[in-house]
Amino acid sequence: MSFQFTGYEHKEAMDKVFEMAGVMNKVSLAIQAPLYVLTSIQTFQDIKNVEKVFNFKGHYFNPDAYSEFNLSTGEMMMFALAMNLYNGCVLEGFDLSPHQAMMWLSKEHRDVYMSAIDYRYRNVG
């Protein structure tokens, strides 16, 4: 599976986060897919911000941490989609239907999200 990246910074941030989470060389779909989406958001290309929403030792996300950040609507949608990929969480006030989600995303972020869905659910069935 090859990921689509929004740019070099996205790939670098994802690689660093995967390494810190201990999922660089193994498949951990429930962790890798949301981290891939999360690091596509410029705010979360800074590891200190990732640490506010993802516990590296316990391997879990804190979806409520989004309130600490001043995210645009599109960035907030990507954050909500990442949390949904993790465990089906739906953040209050976010319609994650394909029509609503895609309406708020740039082409690059649409590509990231579609790639993440494919990666996360490819072998489910």
Q: Tell me if 43 sits within 8 A of 82, measured CB to CB.
A: no
Q: Nearest CA to 115 among 28, 29, 44, 52?
A: 29
pLDDT in tens, 54-100: 999 999 999 999 999 999 989 999 999 999 999 998 988 888 888 88
State the Cα–Cα distance between residues 93 and 20, nearest whole angstrom. Answer: 32
Q: What is the pTM of this model?
A: 0.92
The residues pairing with 87 across neighbouring beta strands, listed in sequence order, are none
pLDDT 10s digits, 45-67: 999 999 999 999 999 999 999 99
Which has the closest alpha carbon to 36: 89, 106, 113, 100? 113
